[in-house]
Amino acid sequence: MDYGANMTRVSEERQRSSGPVDVEPPPPAAPLGGLAEAGRGQAMARYQILAPHLYDGVPLKAVAAGSGVNYRTLKRWLARYRGRGLEGLARAGRSDSGQRRLPDELVALIEGLALKPPRPSTAKIHRVAESVARARGWPTPGYGTVYDIVARLDPALMTLGLEGTKRYREVYDLVYRREATKPNEIWQADHTELDIWVIDDKGKPARPWLTVIEDDHSRAIAGYAVNLEAPSALTTALAFRHAIWRKTEPSWHVCGIPTVFHLDHGSDFTSAHLEQVMAELKVRPVFTLKGQPHGHGKIERLMETFNQMCLAHLPGYAPRGTPDRAGQAELTLPQLDAAIGRFVREVYNLRPHSETKTPPQTRWEAGAFIPRMPDSLEQLDLLLLTVAKPRKIHPDGIHFLNLRYLDPVLAFYVTEQATIRYDPRDITEIRVYLHTDDGDQFLCRAICPELSDTTVSLKEITAARNARRKQLRGTLTDRSAVVNALLAAHAEPLPAPYPIPAGALRTEPQPSPSTGTGTGADLDTHTPITATSPHDAPKLKRYWTE
């Protein structure tokens, strides 16, 4: 017969025969804060057994007969319940529970051995502890005791001791999680090496890198860049440029300049040029501490989403453990770039986010705000295209990467020093900036005829060359006219004839009229020589000594 039904029947018969029973109300329950879940369950089970006796007046012996619990045990439970309440029905623990009979030094030795990297096996720890205990006359610990001591160690202490400070910070350090209150208030950026292989320009398999920039408030992807090179300031700048400027795809609306840009502390993010760019754009950079990438959980979770929802469905996907990972390559880098772009536009930005419960692009647009934009794409390129090389403008164009870049405008600046900037994903053209006192000024876009469909004809080069020559000749003519005019206005008179000093006349012997030749007799005859005109004056001073 069921115990509950039996107790109910006995209770009803007793009430009919003896009338109402004065039931002693139970004492107030003692606090159960010190009981574990298992202890509470045990106390409630015992309380349910005693309930017919407590509330219905069923004799305790009848309760013992119906429940199968010993009568003396029920008396002991009843006494505990009346003395301590529900807490008294829980199994009392041993007074020495958790205490060991081993010396504290031996316990510390066992714990120290377990925390020393590399972590030894429990069997080795037991052998060492047993040997030390015998040598010092201590009680010898059993294997189970050693195992229990090691198992009771704090997991945080184990992580710090065996895996180091960095792992401890990642798992146990308390992290403040920030939340942006509006779109474009905080952006995050990060890199990851994708678990997919592609075919590079040389036909060889390669593993690409992905740089992603995410809006913290909406979780929308603002921009990205896919490259085969390792992360650098250039890849970050290209992704930043893509995130800021308006997208060519009309369905992708996220753009603008953020207020705060959270970055890792890698060299690709801490470049001086990138900091100057953000200062120019009035963006506050916030760098994580070295070796402590806390606060990047959102962007790191996004990288897992890319692997699981995008790359896993593409050919060439080869996560760790896949045999012949490089041999899985089928796509080219532009094809992978296009696939990631479609995933961002058509899936990720339009799919409700698991935390915000709103599609990222919808949440970004909900603020109905006008994003802050740069003045022009040229200004943005001047700031962000960080591959800047000084070059000299030669008569045949600009030499770069063993290629020649031409534009008719360059004819006016031959031999000038300039700075070129280029997009490494497309080197068919370069942007040329001329050095001026006010900074670099955009000059032109020079193209490489060998790489571009657009060519610069000989006629255009000749016309530009003639125009340059004509300009220079016009400048020479103008300058010559100015010089002649100024010299004519300020002409000075010619200097006066050189005066003949007194006593500078001299006599020379003259030949005899009869003979026409000079002889010794004629030496006494002298003819004075005088200057008859200013042109006959001596050009040099001559002093005669008598």
Q: CB–CB of 443/413 below 8 Å?
A: yes
pLDDT of residue 450: 81
Residue 132 reports pLDDT greater than 70: yes
Q: Give φ, ψ of 447 to 5 degrees.
A: -115, 160
Same domain, yes or no, for 139 and 284? no
Task: Residue 17: give the domain boundaries.
Answer: 3-89
Q: Which helix (H) or strand (E) holds 469?
A: helix 458-489
> Percentage of the chain with pLDDT > 90?
21
- Which parts of 347-457 fold into alpha helices (H)? 360-365, 377-384
For residue 260, the cross-strand partners are: 186, 284
Residue 168 and residue 202 in one domain: no
Question: Nearest-CA neighbor of 223 among 349, 123, 76?
Answer: 349
Whether residue 333 is found in the same domain as residue 445 = no
What is the model's pTM?
A: 0.51
- The pair phi, psi for residue 191, each rounded to 5°, is -115, 155
Query: What single-letter DSSP state applies at residue 308?
Result: I
CATH of the domain at 302: 3.30.420.10
Q: What is the pLDDT of residues 331-360, one digit of tens each?
A: 999 999 999 999 999 999 999 988 889 999
Greatest Cα pair distance in the chain: 202
Digit-coded pLDDT (tens) for 106-116: 889 998 999 98
Q: Is the peptide bond before 141 cis (omega within 30 degrees of 0)?
A: no
pLDDT, one tens digit per residue, over 276-316 is 778 888 888 887 665 555 555 567 778 888 888 899 899 99
Give the separation between CA 150 and CA 112, rounded to whole angstroms: 10
Measured CA to CA, the distance from residue 267 to residue 231 in angstroms comes to 9
DSSP states of 486-531 as a string? Answer: HHHHT--PPPPPPPPPTT--EEEE---TTTSS--SGGGG-EEEE--
DSSP 310: I
410-416 long-range contacts, CB within 8 A, separation 24+: 410/443, 410/444, 410/446, 410/464, 411/461, 411/464, 411/465, 411/467, 411/468, 412/464, 412/467, 412/468, 412/471, 413/443, 414/468, 416/392
How do residues 418-471 score in pLDDT, each as one tens digit? 988 877 667 788 889 888 877 778 889 898 888 776 555 556 666 777 887 788
310 and 430 part of one domain: no
Asked if residue 227 and residue 205 are part of one domain, the reply reads yes
Beta-bridged to residue 527, according to DSSP, are: 508
**Do 218 and 335 reside in the same domain of the chain?**
yes
| Least confident span in 33-37, 134-138, 260-264 | 33-37
Left, alpha or beta for 262 (phi > 0: left; psi -120 to 50: alpha)? beta
Instruction: Fill in the DSSP letter of residue 247.
Output: P
CATH of the domain at 113: 1.10.10.60
Residues forming a β-bridge with 403: 400
pLDDT exceeds cutoff 50 at 522: no
Q: How many independent structural domains does the chain possess?
A: 4
Each as own residue / partner, the long-range contacts of residues 138-146 (CB below 8 Å, 24 or more positions apart, any chain) are: 138/102, 138/103, 138/105, 138/106, 139/101, 139/102, 139/103, 141/102, 141/106, 141/110, 145/100, 145/102, 146/110, 146/122
Choose the final residue of a domain: 444, 463, 482: 463
- State whether 23 and 45 are in the same domain: yes
Q: What is the pLDDT of residues 364-404, one digit of tens each?
A: 998 778 899 988 877 777 667 656 788 999 988 999 888 89
What's the full length of the chain, in residues?
546
Q: Evaluate whether residue 514 is within a structural domain.
A: no
